[in-house]
Amino acid sequence: MKKYLSLVKFSHTIFALPFACIGFFLGVVKKGPSLRIILEREIGIKFLLVLICMVTARSAAMAFNRYLDRQFDALNPRTAIREIPAGIIAPSAALRFTIANCLLFIIATYCINILCFYLSPIALFVILFYSYTKRFTALCHLVLGVGLSLAPIGAYLAITGVFDWLPLFFSFAVICWVSGFDIIYALQDEGFDKANTLHSIPVALGKKNALRVSELLHLVSALLIIYAGWYGNFYWIYWIATAVFVGMLIYQHSLVKPDDLRKVNIAFMTANGIASVVFGILVIVSFFIKNGW
């Protein structure tokens, strides 16, 4: 189990999970004004199913990415220690793990509602297709962002069964946020990717311009978060959450320079982890306070 958790970088679930919770509880407060609804058995089961969907979808995507990129990972000194090139997990085992998680994801969506079930193949296509994109487009970061952005709107659909603008604003913010920090992470492999004909924003534009693109994406993400707060007319705690989120975006860009990538992992994991968790908790609290729970 430890080997497979390491294979899929389970700790990175921290990025999208708080936004899935935002979408879920946004749907809960929309369903009814009483705290009693969240204690109902149906809501509790759906929350568990949403968590299963999050874990299995992400595990499938990461395991497939490791399976597909195993030859490149073996050549890259930074990634040669990963489980497949290091011989800890066999490629066939990683592929079986991917298929198993895809099946569990589909079963979980079927148990949620029929709309989520019908949309599940599309969701799986997006998150699995990302693994191919680095082979032909520098926009691979945006595809990753789209994959993680399914979390808030998917969780909202699990409760309400209908689309709405507010969770979509959070999804759009996630696209820009994730794309921006994935560009920062990709700075580490600019030379390797260029030598192996792999595509990324750093390869296409260089490190300095790639950081400018990342900054622009994070600016758009911050503006979407602000607009979502205005659109939803949330409680003042939401604005504290927004300040923390934006502050972490600014902080991570202060850590990384085109000629100094020593703090990339702090910018990638620590800053974004804090941004996601703190923002998610405070936003959910603001939902309940606003609705008098």
CATH number of the structural domain spanning residue 31: 1.10.357.140
Measured at the CA of 148, the angle between CA 147 and CA 151, to 5 degrees, comes to: 110
pLDDT of residue 103: 97
- Identify the DSSP state of 49: H
pLDDT of residue 40: 62
Which residues are CB-neighbours of 154 under 8 A, at least 6 positions away? 20, 23, 50, 53, 116, 119, 123
pLDDT of residue 181: 93
Taking CA atoms, 267 is separated from 20, 156, 254, 262, 285, in Å, by: 22, 29, 9, 10, 26
Instruction: Give backbone dihedrals phi and psi of 160, rounded to 5 degrees, phi first.
Output: -95, -30
Q: How many domains does the chain have?
A: 1
pLDDT of residue 41: 64
pLDDT of residue 273: 87
pLDDT of residue 174: 96
Range of the domain at 120: 2-290
Each of the 293 residues of the chain gets a pLDDT tens digit; together they read 777 777 767 666 778 889 999 999 998 887 765 545 555 667 788 899 999 999 999 999 999 999 999 999 999 998 899 889 989 999 999 999 999 999 999 999 999 999 999 999 999 999 999 999 999 999 999 999 999 999 999 999 999 888 999 999 999 999 999 999 999 999 999 999 999 999 999 999 999 999 999 999 999 999 999 999 999 888 889 999 999 999 999 999 999 998 888 888 877 778 888 899 999 999 998 887 776 65
